[in-house]
Structure 1
Amino acid sequence: MDEDLIQVVNRLQETFTTIGGHAVDLPQCVVVGSQSSGKSSVLETIVGRDFLPRGSGIVTRRPLVLQLIHVPESDSARMHQPEEYGEFLHIDRRFTDFNAIRNEIENETLRVAGKNKGISKQPIHLKIYSPNVINLTLVDLPGLTKIPVGDQPSDIERQIRSLVTDYISKPNCIIIAVSPANVDLANSDSLKLARSVDPQGRRTIGVLTKLDLMDAGTNALDILTGRMYPLKLGFIGVVNRSQQDINSNLPMADARKAEEEFFRTHIAYRTIAHKCGTKYLAKTLNQVLLNHIRDCLPDMKARLNTLMGQAQQELAAFGDVAFMGDQHRGTLVLKYMTQFARDFVASIDGTSFDISTKELCGGARVYYIFQDVFGQALASINPTQNLTVQDIRTAIRNSTGPRPSLFVPEAAFELLIKPQIKLLEPPALRCVELVYEELMKICHNCNSAELQRFPRLHAQIIEVVSDLLRERLGPTSEYVQSLIEIQSAYINTNHPSFVHDSAAIAREIREQNNNPAPAAIKIDQSIDSDLSAVPSDDEQEDTGRNVAISGAARRFGRNDEQDLRRIAHNNPRHNTQNEASNAPAASQGANGGAGNSHDTFLNYFFGGASGLPVHENNGSASSLIASRFGERRLPGTNDGKSAAFEMKSLDRYLDAGSIEDEPKLSERERLETDLIRSLITSYFNIVRQSIQDLVPKAVMHLLVNFSRDSVQNRLVVSLYKESLFEQLLHEDEALTRERRRVQSLLDAYREGFNVLSEITFWPST
């Protein structure tokens, strides 16, 4: 019954090879040797037939798994079958002509490995049934070579060594190292390669060929007896047919007789003749293989048991096919939709089981958008960066119309702040888009292994959820946009924070206005010092005042002497009578008339007791304001000269003022510009804080939470239809093929395990 062990292993090998499984390391004998070392002759002598391709260079370019099956002569005669025949695993045909077997090996090699002498790792399986062989499994590999010859690939040595190493490195492999006896054993490539994977020599058996070709007076007795190179399985010497015998078609039976005669009559080998020859080699390999199979049975069973568990687990991942009946399809569709919705919600809430520790995912990315991306985008906006001095001055002038203004008009503030509020709209809308994109990523990442079985169902679920998110994108963006428009629709200058900031700005302006300009102080001091030397007579005082004004104009480099005369005329210390007489008019102008038309929150910035003095004495008020704030004249005009002839070219003046890089501002214009900038910055910051708070809330309510709460209902309404069940549950073809392959592997593993379990109870010899 031990003979059946090899057949069992051969059957397992065929089964695993057919289904593409190579995870089981089955015991087998692998023939390794250099080119022209006699490998092919050894195999043919064991079989007793010429069936291997021959020629120069590389002939064996694919592994040949040779299974020898002993068929008793009585069985062959009873079954009316030929005594000897061969079968290939890749073709359903029986070969009785061994020349046809050789041709089939050559053709199959060319089909897979090509015609350029390339190497292929895909094996050829050949069974030979004969009463002249014993049960044995041998693997013939390409011969080891050193340099490419002819049209061989340049890396042929590396390819062959890699192929041979893959086979002999397996622990259950028995290495048959073939070495020619007429070459020094120290140069044996087969023994060197075998030692690299089997340093102890426990699973290597040496075969010495060409013993009849050794030089006269030399022999290999020390090698065959193990004294030179010890191996646990020892060395066996053989004598094959010479090339002349092959060319003359010497029968294999005659060759075996000649081999036996050689060892029996040789003076050095006759004492060990019973342990030499091809017949002894075949029996030894058979016994070694049987013993090796028995030793490997426990490990093989354990390995098969592990592989069965892995195959069952992999098959379970594909799902149970029996659950896909018509009565279960609705339940299966609902199950996967519920699972998808649960994974979608868990990703947003951060309760998923497979949370990453390497990068942000799911709802954490949404929070990052709100706090970091959106917050930094708003903080990077400069409220007045795009407002030039010319823009602010033009807005102030346009908002006053044809009338001069004593105060900064509130209309100019609203005109300037509304476009600035619009700067918040692009970041807010982009925040909505980023959150929408993250939700789409979450949707696409919710792809469980079970759901991947049904690509159509998965695609439909993704499409339905994507449609839901797209539907919510529009209303969310519109609402966020309306938040910006609401802020622009009504400028609430009574906002508590803005009133507080305005008061602070007002105090700063008052402090600046209470301190006269240094130039004006110097002019007043100069006039006072000149007048102190003039007599008190009225006429003399007027004359002295004129002289003092002229002197001050010369000292301070001013050409507008007429303006200085007005300043002196309105000097409160030297014209107390005029000041007292004009006080009621000033009070009337400050509290009524023009003051009523600008009665806003900006009133206390200019005018009043703490503001600038306002006079209406023969036009002296406008002259005083012009002198105090340095009012700028139109280009091209001269003091005391009329420019009426140039009034037809008003556009020229406007153009000249607009092309200036830095317009020259009067003190009043500079004060108004700084004031407007401060107010715009204050109000913009208030709006920015409100938008930074409201936009994330709107996005969470209208987009995130709405999609999170309604995703499962939308899936059920859209996909839970009996007419769609068959289409949605259509499996992927590649997945179906993979399931069949895994199922075949599982069946093969089970069969092999059962067979090996029975072998355990067989008696050993």
Structure 2
Amino acid sequence: MNDLIPLVNKLQDVFNTIGSDTVDLPQIIVVGSQSSGKSSVLENIVQRDFLPRGNGIVTRRPLVLQLVNIHANEDSEPEEYGEFLHASNQKFTDFAEIRKEIEAETARIAGQNKGISRSPMQLKIYSPNVLNLTLVDLPGLTKIPVGDQPTDIENQTRNLISDYISKPNRHVIILAVSAANVDLVNSESLKLAKQVDPEGRRTIGVLTKLDLMDAGTNALEILTGRVLPLKLGFIGVVNRSQQDIVGNKPMVEALKSEAEFFKHHRAYRSIASRCGTPFLAKTLNNILMNHIRERLPDIKTRINTLIGQTSHELMSYGDSTLEGKSNRGALILRLLTKFASDFVSSIDGTSSDISTKELCGGARIYYIFNNVFGAALESIRPGGNLTVQDIRTAIRNSTGPRPSLFVPEIAFDLLVKPQILLLLQPSLRCVDLVYEELMKICHGCGSVELSRYPRLHAKLLEVVSDLLRERLAPTSEYVESLISIQHAYINTNHPDFIGGGAAISDLVRKNERKRREFEKLNRRSNNSSGVLNVSVQSSVVSKDENDGPLVSDNLKEPGGTKDINLHNGMNNPSSWAQRESFLTYFFGSGNKTDRTVLPDQPISIRNPRDIEELEHKLEHISLDEGVNHLTEREELETQLIRSLITSYFDLVRKAIQDTVPKAIMHHLVNRSRETVQNRLVEELYKEELFADLLQEDENLTNERQKCKTMLEVYREAFEIINEAM
């Protein structure tokens, strides 16, 4: 039993070497307000003046006080001294120096103001006058900040105390110090203790200043447990007065005066044997030993669990002792093979850790092909950037100085080729997106073991990135050539191309449909107003994007008469009957008087200046100058060209949408996945690189060393407990 407290002290020393509080050791936590006499109680137990004194908060850091009893020798009195954990190589025989060291170390950690710190300070005192005991002195509770104390000093102190006394598994005994000359209901220490120990099973009360109570009053009912029942009870003590402290009254005399007080006090003499500092020290010694004995099996189990967890963590860091080139070579080969395998499996969708939250790997490449690239191609409107004047100019330019009998095929080539080039940019962007996705897959590969070697990991990423960049250029060139191939030869004999005859027939059907629509409109208008005046003015008709002119934007109702401008005269049955067939008109020698384009009109010259103006205009001449309307033939030519462009562009778009993803898969994706492992082996499996590539991450090395130290500490603690049990 007497060895249990030194046992816990040993465990405390062992755990302090790593600064770990993973094991809650049995402790007695001293709690009290600033004016409760808490420091005096501790000094009486030690029988030495060693704690700082003054106004406000004096104890500003948790002080772990280990008292070690040393037996007196027959020949000489043993030397009393103290040792600090932060200065383990220094022995303090002068207790005044111990006080100065506490003040200096507190100021170093907690600052020069009156703020507090959670960092504990450990002091071990060896003396024949103490019992084996471990106490933790906490900052005193305060209400009002003093001087340069933080404004929330009360909350800081309460939170610190609560953290210590509410530790799990109830490994803590609470020593609640209260002044007897203050109403017990106002005791801050007892209030905090009751919050974490409502049944009072692990709280022991200490009443100080019994000699300062008002005349005729006493604390007998409190000390006997009739006011506030605590399982461990209340113990009364009488500390030195301020005058005794100033006068350096010896501790021995102070303890004698305390004993005389209880022995001769009329209210306390019946319980004098259960009062005073010696009884308090003995009681705390017994309580702590019993508490340790009760909690020791739990501590052993906890340490055993920590040994298992730490051993597993240490294994995850791997073995740092790689001796010989063969071992290093085998490790590098295994790691780069695993990296290549992860890269390929991510593309193929066979990885073991596939995400269920978002698309990843090869699925994202499919999304690029099907959704992104497909939508980009579909968004292109064939001929959307061509105006009527662009088409007319191309037709006229392709005939040279001669008038045309037919719509020249060269004009179609001139107009459709730029449309094909619109597919180039989305196709090259598709290549870039897949390349970027492969780079993301590459950077997402790597195991926990590989993270130990940052240089090897960086080299793996560098080699694969270089491989992907090498494949990017030929892939882009091939995709660009696919567009160039389509641009190089316009195959109007393609079986799916609409062709000239079919395009004309389609125009005839559309015009007939529009004629019927206007006849319906005509009948509705006759029914409503009784008059319908239809005038054919092709120069002011509105244009439908694909089908040509529909209805004029100018619907007039002068005097109740509606003027509706329909399509061209061919939609008028009477006009149709008076003309040649549609095909003969379109491809034949239509009446030239119908053409109102500026270059075909006779020019009236009135004076030499008119000739100069015409010569100046000739430099920038366009077909829209002087033209107020299109002839019927020009309208049909424009519609025909648009129809042919749309038909041919759709053919090319389908071909590109099919071949570009195939080209990317062949030249970029498949070539990369098939050659990645060979490239890694070729570039990195070299003996002269082994030492550099297998240099571990410094942080990981530190974590492994820390883990090793903790494992050694836990094993040492386990051996200490085994020896004691």
Corresponding residue number in structure 1 for 2:640: 675
Give the C-alpha shift of residue 438 in structure 1.
1.1
What's the offset of the Cα at 1:15?
1.7
Where 1:612 maps in the other structure, the secondary structure is helix
**Is the CA contact (8 Å cut-off) linking 2:504 and 2:640 kept in structure 1?**
no
Where do residues 161-176 of structure 1 align in structure 2 (5 Å cutoff)? 161-170=158-167, 171-176=170-175
Distance in structure 1 (CA, Å) of the matches to 2:724 and 2:513: 115
Deviations 1:727-747 (A, max 9, x none): 111111111111111111111
Q: Secondary structure of the equivalent of 1:73?
A: coil
- Structural mapping, 1:337-352, within 5 Å: 337-352=336-351
Amino acid corresponding to residue 101 of structure 1 in structure 2 = I
- Superposition pairs of residues 585-600 of structure 1, within 5 angstroms: none
Q: Secondary structure at the match of 1:93?
A: strand
Q: Which structure 2 residue ranges, 5 or more long, are not aligned? A: 517-534, 536-562, 564-574
* 2:506 matches 1:508: yes
Structural mapping, 1:39-78, within 5 Å: 39-74=38-73, 77=76
Whole-angstrom CA distance in 2 between matches of 1:332 and 1:515: 77
Residue number in structure 2 paired with 1:716: 681
Question: 1:491/1:201 Cα in 2 relative to 1: closer, same or farther (>3 Å)?
Answer: same
1:108-187 map, 5 Å = 108-170=105-167, 171-187=170-186
Change (3 A) 1:321 1:657: closer
Matches for 1:295-444 after TM superposition, within 5 Å: 295-323=294-322, 325-444=324-443
Contact 1:513 1:612 in 2 (8 A): no
Deviation at 1:445, TM superposition (A): 1.3
Q: Distance in 1 between matches of 2:161 and 2:515?
A: 101
Q: 1:633 to 1:216 in 2, by over 3 A?
A: same
| Counterpart residue number, 2:593 | 626
Is contact 2:406–2:587 with CA below 8 Å preserved after alignment?
Answer: no
| Structure 1 residue 572: Cα displacement | 10
Contact 1:73 1:83 in 2 (8 A): no
CA distance in 2, matches of 1:515, 1:716: 70
Task: Report the alpha carbon displacement of residue 653 of structure 1 after superposing the two structures with TM.
Answer: 6.3
Does residue 1:757 correspond to 2:722, yes or no?
yes
Aligned identity (percent) is: 63
What is the DSSP-based 3-state SS (H/G/I as helix, E as strand, rest coil) of the residue aligned with 2:73? helix
Provide the C-alpha distance between the structure 1 equivalents of 2:142 and 2:514, rounded to a whole number of angstroms. 106
**Contact 2:598-2:627 at 8 Å conserved across structures:** no
Check whether the contact 2:78–2:128 (CA below 8 A) recurs between aligned residues.
no
Partners of 1:6 and 1:461 in 2: how far apart? 56
Q: Shift in Å at residue 610 of structure 1?
A: 3.9
In 2, Cα distance between equivalents of 1:744 and 1:505: 86
In the alignment, the residues of structure 1 paired with residue 203 and residue 149 of structure 2 have an alpha-carbon distance, to the nearest angstrom, of 30
Partner residue of 1:253? 252
- CA pair 144-325 structure 1, distance change in 2 beyond 3 A: farther
Give the match for residue 568 of structure 2.
none
SS at match of 1:384: coil
1:657/1:663 contact within 8 Å kept: no
Aligned partner letter, 2:436: E
TM-score, normalised to structure 1, is: 0.83
Could you tell me which of 699, 712, 716 is aligned with 1:734?
699
For the residues of structure 2 that align with 1:100 and 1:515, how far apart are their CA atoms? 112
SS at match of 1:611: helix
Where 2:48 maps in the other structure, the secondary structure is coil
For residue 689 of structure 1, the aligned residue among 643, 654, 658 is 654
Cα distance in 2 for partners of 1:288, 1:121 equals: 26
Cα gap change, 1:422 to 1:224, in 2 (>3 Å): same
Deviation at 1:677, TM superposition (A): 1.1
1:56–1:63 CA distance, 2 compared to 1 (3 A): same
Aligned residues of 2:597 and 2:627 also touching (Cα < 8 A): no
Residue 626 of structure 1 deviates from its aligned partner by 3.2
Deviation at 1:665, TM superposition (A): 2.2
Q: State which of 65, 84, 87 in structure 1 corresponds to 2:80.
A: 84
Deviations 1:565-613 (A, max 9, x none): xxxxx9998xxxxx9xxxxxxxxxxxxxxxxxxxxxxxxxxx9884218
Alpha carbons of 1:159 and 1:515: their partners in 2 closer, same or farther (altered >3 Å)? closer
CA distances 1:476-522 after superposition (whole Å, capped 9, x unpaired): 111111111111011111111114x655422123557999999xxxx
Q: In 2, distance between residues paired with 1:75 and 1:754?
A: 34
Deviation of residue 655 (structure 1)? 4.6
Distance across 1 between alignment mates of 2:183 and 2:642: 100
Equivalent in the alignment of 2:496: 497
Asked if structure 1 preserves the Cα contact closer than 8 Å seen for 2:201 and 2:230, the reply is: yes
Query: Cα deviation per residue 1:272-312 (whole Å; 9 max; x = unaligned)?
Result: 11111111111111111111111111211221122112111
Change in CA separation of 1:19 and 1:96 when aligned onto 2, cut-off 3 Å: same
Aligned 8 A contact 1:58 1:117 in 2: yes
Return the offset for 1:146: 1.3
SS in 2 for 1:713: helix
CA distance in 2, matches of 1:613, 1:330: 81
SS in 1 for 2:644: helix
Q: Residue 706 of structure 1: CA displacement?
A: 1.3
SS at match of 1:427: helix
Over 3 Å counting, the alpha-carbon distance change for 1:636 and 1:245 in structure 2 is farther
* Structure 1 contact 304–752 (Cα < 8 Å) conserved: yes
- Of the candidates 594, 597, 611, which is equivalent to residue 584 of structure 2? 611
**Secondary structure at 2:19 match in 1:** coil
Instruction: Return the letter of the residue paired with 2:253.
Output: D
Whether contact under 8 Å (1:637, 1:643) holds in the other structure is no
Query: Could you say which residue in structure 2 is the equivalent of 1:93?
Result: 90
Q: Is the 8 A contact 1:27 1:293 kept in 2?
A: yes
Structure 1 residue matching 2:497: 3-state secondary structure:
helix
Q: Secondary structure at the match of 1:129?
A: strand
**Deviation by residue 1:499-548 (Cα, 9 ceiling, x = unmatched):** 4x655422123557999999xxxxxx9xxxxxxxxxxxxxxxxxxxxxxx
Q: 1:190 to 1:572 in 2, by over 3 A?
A: closer
1:704 aligns with 2:669: yes
CA distance in 1, matches of 2:25, 2:209: 31
Q: Distance in 1 between matches of 2:448 and 2:212?
A: 66
Give the letter for the 1:154 counterpart: T
Q: For 1:748 and 1:110, how far apart are their aligned partners in 2? A: 30
Q: Which amino acid aligns with 1:99?
A: A
Q: Any conservation in 2 of the 1:513–1:611 contact (CA below 8 Å)?
A: no
Q: CA deviation at 1:633?
A: 4.3
Rounded Cα–Cα distance in structure 1 between residues aligned with 2:713 and 2:354: 39
Q: Could you tell me whether the CA contact under 8 Å between 2:208 and 2:239 is conserved in 1?
A: yes
Deviation at 1:358, TM superposition (A): 1.4
Report the CA distance shift for 1:69/1:325 in structure 2 as closer, same or farther (over 3 A): farther
Q: Secondary structure at the match of 1:22?
A: coil
Distance 2:637 2:646 in 1: 14
- Closer, same or farther in 2 for the Cα pair 1:19/1:609, shift >3 Å? closer
Q: Using the alignment, how far apart are the partners of 1:660 and 1:341 within structure 2?
A: 67
Instruction: Report the CA distance between 1:652 and its aligned residue.
Output: 2.3
- Shift in CA distance, 176/650, structure 1 to aligned 2, threshold 3 Å: same
For the residue of structure 2 that corresponds to 1:49, the secondary structure is: coil
**Residue in structure 2 matched with residue 20 of structure 1 by the alignment:** 19
**Contact 1:237–1:276, Cα closer than 8 Å, also in 2:** yes
Identify if the C-alpha distance between structure 1 residues 286 and 511 changes in structure 2 by more than 3 Å, giving closer, same or farther.
Answer: closer
Query: Any conservation in 2 of the 1:510–1:610 contact (CA below 8 Å)?
Result: no
Is contact 2:70-2:78 (8 Å) kept?
A: no
Question: 1:669-688, CA deviations, whole angstroms, 9 ceiling, x for partnerless residues?
Answer: 11111111111111111111
Q: 1:173 to 1:650 in 2, by over 3 A?
A: same
Instruction: For 1:12 and 1:326, locate their aligned partners in 2 and report how far apart those are by CA, in whole Å.
Output: 43
The correspondence of residues 175-324 of structure 1 with structure 2, limited to 5 A, is 175-323=174-322
